[in-house]
Amino acid sequence: MDLPVSLILALRQVERVAVLTGAGVSQESGLRTFRDPQVGLWAQYRPEELASPEGFARNPKLVWDWYAWRREAVKGARPNPGHYALAEMERRIAHFTLITQNVDGLHRMAGSQKVLELHGNIQRVRCSACGHPAETWENDLEGVPRCERCGGLLRPDVVWFGEALPRAELEAAVEAARTCQAFFSIGTSGIVQPAASLPFAARNNGAMVVEINLEPTPLTGKAHFFLQGKSGEILPALVRAVWPAERA
Ligand code: BV8
Ligand code: ZN
């Protein structure tokens, strides 16, 4: 795709960049996004019903199984060129903060160092009662494993709807949005708060806002650049254009 020259030139000058990613960045790694029609058993449930304390209290086995199924899918997934391009951008830009809503851990696997996981990480499991982290677990009779320390039900270490985001990560993300010169919103429908407010905070601080997404979102009208398409294709092309391989 032909990238705007003004964007390419601007990115060679900036020193402080923040990026917010969503499920769309992992779509080309084979992981379903939230707005894809979920497969099979999950078709009849809205993610908000499964990713909430109420949903877990109502049917712990259903919720535990949904996350076990997603954990297996994540185990089989590998970063795609979009993840690697973001890791390359971090190496090229003096102050680079990657804020992700994704719980799949693929950014770190691709080599990104400074990653703020606003919504936790599906590979981590903890006790829903005492918070004790669990490395391994046995499925007990009704199929939801229990904490070795207090017997409470184990749960994925992710942030559910209605739950507070981790304070340190959220504060660092807000700080990055407030101080960056350029903010990228990539592969997210921009619906879930408070993550969805970050690009607007950046816009208010005078940052250049770039959206990379398959479809328009509530942010598109406010973005300085909207690059419509697949992040796994656009990001590598952008990195190549901004930092052409050093002449041999
Ligand atoms: C909180 C972890 C308070 C779990 C997730 C009414 C109005 C406003 C807000 C609210 C409201 N009612 C409730 C709220 C608050 C609520 C909220 O925002 N609800 C929404 C539904 C309106 N937020 C919360 O509850 C948050 N907590 O507010 O707490 C509080 C404060 C103090 C003390 C106590 C409580 C917690 C929200 C976190 C929820 N957890 N994930 C899990 O993964 O199971 S959310 C989950 O869905 C993701 O993490 C992500 O954040 C979110 C949306 O997903 P996206 O990443 O955007 O993915 P999506 O599928 O939507 O879009 C993908 C996009 O990519 C699409 O646009 C697509 O076109 C594009 N795409 C696809 N393929 C590609 C692509 N783009 C490029 N390339 C491709 N290849
Ligand atoms: Zn416990």
d(CA 17, CA 89): 9
pLDDT of residue 110: 98
* Contact predicate 82/104, CB 8 Å: no
Whether residue 33 is predicted with pLDDT greater than 80 in this model: the reply is: yes
Measured from the Cβ of residue 130, the count of other Cβ atoms closer than 10 Å reads: 11
Query: Which range has the worst mean pLDDT, 39-48, 85-94, 118-127, 163-172?
Result: 39-48
Question: What is the share, in percent, of the chain residues with pLDDT greater than 90?
Answer: 88
Query: Which range has the worst mean pLDDT, 12-16, 45-49, 167-171, 240-244?
Result: 45-49
Whether residue 228 is predicted with pLDDT greater than 80 in this model: the reply is: yes
d(CA 50, CA 205): 36
d(CA 22, CA 32): 11
Per-residue pLDDT band for 154 (boundaries 50, 70, 90) equals: very high
Question: What is the share, in percent, of the chain residues with pLDDT greater than 70?
Answer: 96
Q: In degrees, to the nearest 5, what angle opens at C-alpha 82 toward C-alphas 123 and 170?
A: 55
| Residue 141, phi then psi, degrees to nearest 5 | -50, -55
d(CA 41, CA 70): 13
Tell which one of 34, 121, 186 to mutate to probe ligand 1, the residue whose CB is within 8 A of the most ligand atoms. Answer: 34
Per-residue pLDDT band for 15 (boundaries 50, 70, 90) equals: very high
Q: Tell how far the Cα of 194 is from the centroid of ligand 1, in angstroms.
A: 9
- Residues annotated catalytic, as ranges: 119
> Judging by DSSP bridges, how do beta strands 182-186 and 225-228 pair with one another?
unpaired
Tokens of 164: 């507070």
Token match 């185990």: residue? 75
Whether residue 2 is predicted with pLDDT greater than 70 in this model: the reply is: yes
Query: Which tens digits make up the pLDDT trace of 125-153?
Result: 999 999 999 999 887 656 899 999 999 99
Q: Tell how far the Cα of 6 is from the centroid of ligand 2, in angstroms.
A: 54
Tokens of 5: 């020259």
Tell which wins on pLDDT, 15 or 41. Answer: 15
Per-residue pLDDT band for 38 (boundaries 50, 70, 90) equals: low
Indicate which atom in ligand 1 lies nearest the CA of residue 50. 44
If you ran DSSP here, which 8-state letter would residue 229 be given? S
Whether residue 167 is predicted with pLDDT greater than 60 in this model: the reply is: yes
